Chains A and B, each alone.
Chain A
């Protein structure tokens, strides 16, 4: 494929890359929120809540992401037509967010449990409730320890998001597939790979910066 041809496809690739980033970032935000609740649930004294959260994590970590995606996109409408989700964005976001929540939950739980027990005791001795102690003392201290594994998870998710090409969501992978088919030339995967590398590099740098920023008190 000559360079001129490649340049004509650049806007399409860049738009695909933009969708990949949006998809990844939104999924990881919702995944982190759900993951935090799952982690707190796993740490809960209430056995039932602990079990439910354990089950969720077991289910979503134990089955392939692609299968979860197909389940949401194809199987739900078969089970009941009212469960049909509109378009590609919503099922893609839902699958990625639900899946990453399971991984993030375990990351968050491990970070919270690594905080010295004396911190919870000091907070309680000062009269704080469990919720206040978690929100003001424990969870904020876990941020710095969360950054490296969350960075890993984000990069893994960015690459895994290529799976949503399978439900015809037009992100970078799908766009590349389309061009490759149309041109009968797979060389287009090379610039696409460079774009993936560029995106993961940005996240790596951002997370290194964040780690420095949250290390000020150590």
Chain B
């Protein structure tokens, strides 16, 4: 099992954003999480790489318990080094790209492999260029991010995440901040990744992408997974009332 969440709950103060979340992702699977804004979709991703800490429950990455808490108290001592190791296995792509603006495209990509994984610089550059070729931006390697379009920035962000050679890619609404005409190029790169067999968890509002690429779709509402199934089941034959009403609004 690549990712497993067991009885995960998360609260910000008195606000419960995740309630009793249980789900698993197997190797090579593409799981799309859909649902209305504020339903806790992004929080799930952020709890996997410790950007947020769960309030209770257990989280496993590659069958290893990486977080276990009961009412906000750690049940498992976890060091900074371990957190860093977990993050290296998880590549994260953000809605707002979050490229480092003071570094060129190539510097953005080689920074973490060099500082975190201590990869020799020439190897990091070589692999960085391979990844840039993969996302179709090799000619932009010496540009600063501010000179690129949103779609190009997001493709660089994907390459930056891939540079750590992650086992799982997490996408947090990767196309939501893009102009409509730039969405396609990013989804194209993500499709390619899925075809290469990458394990992916994608929080998205792109129902077309979910239908076409996902192996499994989770529908979330008010901090709970209301329904899960194949795209066929969810989109053509939703069982839950709230799934139905959500899909009616977005499709």
Which residues from chain B contact A122 at a C-beta distance below 8 Å?
A: 92, 94, 98-100
Distance between A191 CB and nearest chain B CB, rounded to angstroms: 43
- Name A's B-contacting residues (CB within 8 A): 116, 118-119, 121-130, 132, 136-137, 140-141, 216-218
Distance between A201 CB and nearest chain B CB, rounded to angstroms: 29
SS class, residues of chain A in contact with chain B:
helix
- Given A118-B96, A217-B146, 8 more A-B residue pairs with CB atoms under 8 Å apart are A123-B100, A124-B51, A125-B90, A126-B88, A126-B116, A127-B84, A216-B144, A217-B101
Which residues from chain A contact B96 at a C-beta distance below 8 Å?
A: 118
| B194 at interface by CB-CB < 8 Å | no
Contact: A118 with B101, CB < 8 Å? no
Instruction: Mark contacts of B106-140 with chain A using CB atoms, 8 A cut-off: 1 yes-contact digit, 0 otherwise.
Output: 00000110011100000000000000000000000
Given known A-B contacts A118-B96, A216-B144, A126 and B112 have beta carbons under 8 A apart? yes
- Name B's A-contacting residues (CB within 8 A): 49-51, 80, 84-85, 87-88, 90, 92, 94, 96, 98-103, 111-112, 115-117, 144-146, 160-161, 164
* Contact partner, B116, options A127, A140, A216, A217, Cβ 8 Å: A127
Task: Give the nearest-CB partner of A117 in chain B.
Answer: B98
Distance between A67 CB and nearest chain B CB, rounded to angstroms: 40
Distance between B163 CB and nearest chain A CB, rounded to angstroms: 9
Which residues from chain A contact B101 at a C-beta distance below 8 Å?
A: 141, 217-218
Which residues from chain A contact B117 at a C-beta distance below 8 Å?
A: 127
Which residues from chain B contact A132 at a C-beta distance below 8 Å?
A: 115-116
* Contact partner, B164, options A118, A126, A216, Cβ 8 Å: A126
Instruction: Tell me, in angstroms, the Cα distance from A122 to B117 when the chains sit together.
Output: 16
Instruction: Tell me, in angstroms, the Cα distance from A129 to B50 when the chains sit together.
Output: 12
Which residues from chain A contact B164 at a C-beta distance below 8 Å?
A: 126-127
Which A-B residue pairs are the 7 nearest by beta carbons?
Answer: A122-B98, A126-B112, A127-B87, A125-B92, A118-B98, A217-B144, A127-B116
Which residues from chain A contact B161 at a C-beta distance below 8 Å?
A: 125-126
Contact: A137 with B88, CB < 8 Å? no
Contact: A124 with B80, CB < 8 Å? no
Contact: B100 with A119, CB < 8 Å? yes
Contact: B115 with A136, CB < 8 Å? yes
Provide a sorted-by-A list of 6 A–B residue pairs whose CB atoms are within 8 angstroms.
A118-B96, A125-B161, A127-B85, A136-B115, A217-B103, A218-B101
Task: Give the nearest-CB partner of A126 in chain B.
Answer: B112
Distance between B104 CB and nearest chain A CB, rounded to angstroms: 8
Given known A-B contacts A126-B87, A129-B80, A118 and B94 have beta carbons under 8 A apart? yes
Given known A-B contacts A126-B87, A126-B164, A119 and B98 have beta carbons under 8 A apart? yes
Task: Give the nearest-CB partner of B99 in chain A.
Answer: A122
Distance between A147 CB and nearest chain B CB, rounded to angstroms: 14
* Contact partner, B115, options A118, A128, A216, Cβ 8 Å: A128
Task: Give the nearest-CB partner of B46 in chain A.
Answer: A121
